[in-house]
Structure 1
Amino acid sequence: MNSTGLPPLTWLRAFEAAARHLSFTLASQELNLTQSAISQHVRSLEAFLGRELFIRRTRALQLTEAGANYLPTVREAFDLLARGTRSFTGGDPGQTLLVQCNMAFSVFWLAPRLPRLYAQHPWLTLNISTAIWDPERSAHDAPVEIRFGRPGDMSQTARPLPANTMYPVCIPQYQNGAFDLKTARLFDCSGMMGNWEYWSTATNTPFDQSNTVNLASTYVIAMQAALHGAGICMSHDAIAADLVEAGQLVRPFEGAAKLPEGYFLLSPASHDETPASRAFVSWLDREITAMHGNHPRTGTPFEK
């Protein structure tokens, strides 16, 4: 036993989640740990206490009498910590939400719609954090995340936003309206599967491979280059549809293809929701549905 007489917080978190779900698998999904890590944390806690907390059955868990007696103490301790933290910080976390969001989505989709969010929820304080590379490392403190990537790289709890359609965009005046891929300066986001070559193949559009594509680490830079008349940028509905509708950008070629990557929503489990997270996710869902009505190519609302 350590000098404090208390087990590590990670063991207690694993026990509480496993007890609530009666499943190591569901607990691992909630805490973003592997199932074996959850199991090991619980075993470590059992060794620390000298008591078995679960009866382990095939594909099922059951609390022992000791586990059932210990669980209320653990929950009360977490509740006390939460109340003490709220008192210490002097704010109500139920009205403040940290969202980690893909940068291009934040700039071109989320920020222009914030007036509508605050009009519906004037009490809400929204803090937005962006990450270009390796968002997993910086997302732990954000209850809600909007992440961009390939479907196969996402967790089972991630909800896909509508499928995106990709196509080139530029300002109406570019090349005096006589758009030519052979002479245009091309822009794209680096590291994308849905790039110029993919689009040209999917749409059967001739593409000169010798025409060098200018790459940026985020669509924000590539799209800004197009908006300032530097060239033609490969883009997609979520970040370009509003600008096309407003006439700031045009689609110089008819061909469009389904973007291999997509946006995914990672939101809290029901027991971890706050008024702020519920309000934001519900608002986001309504906005996506409204956008679908205005832009048929964006696909269906949130896939459940």
Structure 2
Amino acid sequence: MTGRSLPPLTWLRAFEAAARHLSFTVAAQELNLTQSAVSQHVRNLEDHLGRELFIRRTRALQLTEAGANYLPTVREAFDVLARGTRSFIGGDRDNALILQCNMAFSVYWLAPRLHRLYAAHPWLVLNIVTALWDPEIHARDAAIKIRFGRPGDMSGDATRLTWDVCRPVCHPDYMGGAPDFARARLFDCAGIMGNWESWSRHTGRPFDEARGVNLSSTYVVAIEAALHGAGMAMGHETLTHDLVEAGRLIEPFGDTAPLPEGYFLLPPPQHEQTPATRAFTDWLSEEVAACPYAFTG
């Protein structure tokens, strides 16, 4: 095959992503390109092949028959290239993956369950990168991402994992074992919608907006403060359920409020799936499904 007959990889990558999402916009977000750049790459590929690959509609794309026939070939080519590259630069790395998730999820949900992951998949090597690192490193290297946020903040291929509620939690001995909301020292994570103010509003408990709340940029600080008896934290069930079950924290008030945010799984594109990513995502889905806060919608 001559160099002239083989399309540039950038054109093929744009086509594969657009075909998977049926959207130039979402493909652009995945590839870190502009929508117009993805559209132009696809147009260049169509001109090169002499075939229309998409039917362009106002709000959606549809593969033509030629596009649907060409797509499996492109995906297979990327799979072969990915496997060959992994082998060339250091052996078969199908047993390793990089996971990006925030510190709180890593500490309070994932780490206590890792023994079950490795019991099921002893060959797996998991490298966890927390959100305290440079986000550019995450975007470039992480095969799988677990993100906390609202549904509207997620990309189209995200799968919701949790449906959460929030409620106060504290050490069993805090304030002599009889916590008083009006006098308690409050801890929380900055930037979360399910906070002390929203919980008070939902439950009808008086809350003075001038009241000081101790904030941090990671939820770990709030939970650790509660675990050590410094005050009350606004607990998210996903992260505090196991601590309450173990008796390390208590829920002094029965009132709960819905948490607008949740945890979402962002898997790698189909052509970048490996035995490691498939093993981890299957295990994660099974673990979450067994939890009372699992999203079932």
Q: TM-score, normalised by structure 1?
A: 0.82
Which sections of structure 2, spanning at least 5 residues, go unmatched?
none
1:286 aligns with 2:286: yes
Which stretch has the larger CA shift, 135-144 or 226-235? Answer: 135-144
Q: Deviations over 1:275-301 (max 9, x none)?
A: 111111111111112222xxxxx2x44
Q: Aligned runs of 1:99-118 on 2, under 5 Å?
A: 99-118=99-118
Q: Aligned runs of 1:137-152 on 2, under 5 Å?
A: 138-152=138-152
- Cα separation, partners in 2 of 1:7 and 1:27, compared to 1, 3 Å: farther
Q: Distance in 2 between matches of 1:170 and 1:22?
A: 44
Which sections of structure 1, spanning at least 5 residues, go unmatched?
293-297
Q: Distance in 2 between matches of 1:85 and 1:40?
A: 27
How far the C-alpha of 1:173 sits from its partner, in A, is 0.8
> Secondary structure in 2 aligned to 1:240?
helix
1:28 aligns with 2:30: no
- Cα separation, partners in 2 of 1:87 and 1:232, compared to 1, 3 Å: same
Q: Deviations over 1:43-101 (max 9, x none)?
A: 24456x4x534255355343769x979995x6676455324322233232321111111
- Cα separation, partners in 2 of 1:14 and 1:273, compared to 1, 3 Å: same
Q: Is the 8 A contact 1:158 1:264 kept in 2?
A: yes
Q: Distance in 1 between matches of 2:248 and 2:97?
A: 32
Q: Distance in 1 between matches of 2:99 and 2:210?
A: 41
Q: Distance in 2 between matches of 1:128 and 1:26?
A: 29
Q: Distance in 2 between matches of 1:188 and 1:124?
A: 35
Match of 2:229 in 1: 229
Q: Is the 8 A contact 1:22 1:61 kept in 2?
A: no
Q: TM-score, normalised by structure 2?
A: 0.84
Match of 2:64 in 1: 62
How far the C-alpha of 1:195 sits from its partner, in A, is 0.8
- Cα separation, partners in 2 of 1:263 and 1:133, compared to 1, 3 Å: farther
> Secondary structure in 1 aligned to 2:141?
coil
- Cα separation, partners in 2 of 1:39 and 1:197, compared to 1, 3 Å: same
- Counterpart residue type for residue 168 of structure 1: P
> Secondary structure in 1 aligned to 2:166?
strand
> Secondary structure in 2 aligned to 1:145?
strand
> Secondary structure in 2 aligned to 1:226?
helix
Q: CA RMSD in A?
A: 3.3
> Secondary structure in 2 aligned to 1:291?
coil
Match of 1:261 in 2: 261
Alignment: residue pair count:
290
> Secondary structure in 1 aligned to 2:248?
coil
Q: Distance in 2 between matches of 1:285 and 1:226?
A: 29
Q: Deviations over 1:163-222 (max 9, x none)?
A: 111011110111101211222111000011111000001111222333200000010111
How far the C-alpha of 1:228 sits from its partner, in A, is 1.2
- Cα separation, partners in 2 of 1:133 and 1:156, compared to 1, 3 Å: farther
What percent identity do the matched residue pairs reach? 57
- Counterpart residue type for residue 169 of structure 1: V
Q: Distance in 2 between matches of 1:27 and 1:52?
A: 25
- Counterpart residue type for residue 291 of structure 1: C
Q: Is the 8 A contact 1:104 1:218 kept in 2?
A: yes
Q: Distance in 1 between matches of 2:273 and 2:262?
A: 24
Q: Aligned runs of 1:130-279 on 2, under 5 Å?
A: 130-132=130-132, 135=135, 138-279=138-279
Q: Is the 8 A contact 2:166 2:259 kept in 1?
A: yes
Match of 1:295 in 2: none
- Cα separation, partners in 2 of 1:14 and 1:121, compared to 1, 3 Å: same
> Secondary structure in 2 aligned to 1:265?
strand
